[in-house]
Amino acid sequence: MTPTVFPDPESLGAALAARIADGIAAASAGRRPYVLGCPGGRSLLTTYHALADEVRARRLPLGHLVVAMMDEYAEPQPDGTFRHVDPSAAHSCVRFGRDEILRRLNAAALGTGINPDRFLVPDPADPAAFDRRIAELGGVELFLLASGAGDGHIAFNPAGTHRDAPTRVVALAEQTRRDNLATFAGFGGRLENVPRHGVTVGTGTIRAQSHSVVMVAHGAHKAEAVRRLTAAEHYEPDWPATVVTECADPLLYVDLAAARS
């Protein structure tokens, strides 16, 4: 993949937000859903913040926007099933989506905001329902993606994931858990505080149900991720983020720090 290089995370986020806003406006005019696949964490924060600015400046209604979160931490139950972690927890992806995406966008929207039933999160009790719902909506118009710095995980898909993996509950790899220590200060820098399981959108779901994808990487710590992604010609199971090479209309957005290191 040939990356598009931006001076810094803010200019990257602004450019990507403008692209998303164009899609939202077109979907609203056509009265059709616009499904936006969203990761939690730091990589897309500048995009989410800039998107709120775009929505406000363009006076966009958001009644046709569907926000599909990629994953959530999960807790095992005594009967062997799993449930989401407390959505009020600082590290909850549901909490992140509500605070950093829904709240900002709804405050900026003209009139209609995002309907509560259009905030989708994979359910560890029925992961396949997430894939079915996306299919019913016609697929994900744009999936925003980020690669793990240490092991190339995408959402919670660990190294070794099959290219056709569906949405499912997974045991989190230790490197993935270590990468997430830097994302959520609430873990206190202690690996034992990071949950050991999560429910995640599958690599197969991303590949098959996305109309377009943008992989985002910024900061010097993402240099290896950028190297792997630019060198990849097909899906490489030891670096799951390379699924982007097999997605429809893929783009790679990076900043100078990630590109130069």
Give per-residue pLDDT as tens, 140-159.
999 999 999 889 999 999 99
Q: How confident is the model at residue 176 (pLDDT cuts 50, 70, 90)?
A: confident
Q: What is the mean pLDDT of residues 73-78?
A: 95
> Span 176-204, mean pLDDT?
89
Closest CA to 167 of 193, 131, 121, 139: 131
At 261 the pLDDT is 60
pLDDT, residue 182, reads 78
Structure tokens at 105: 């966008």
245: Cβ contacts below 8 Å, ≥ 6 apart: 1, 229, 232, 233, 234, 235
Q: How confident is the model at residue 237 (pLDDT cuts 50, 70, 90)?
A: very high
Residue 111 has pLDDT above 90, yes or no: no
For the whole model, what pTM was predicted?
A: 0.94
Q: What are phi and psi of 120, to 5 degrees?
A: -105, 135
Confidence of residue 169 (pLDDT cuts 50, 70, 90): very high
Is residue 221 pLDDT above 80, yes or no?
yes
Contact assessment for residue 140 and residue 91, using Cβ atoms and an 8 Å cutoff: no
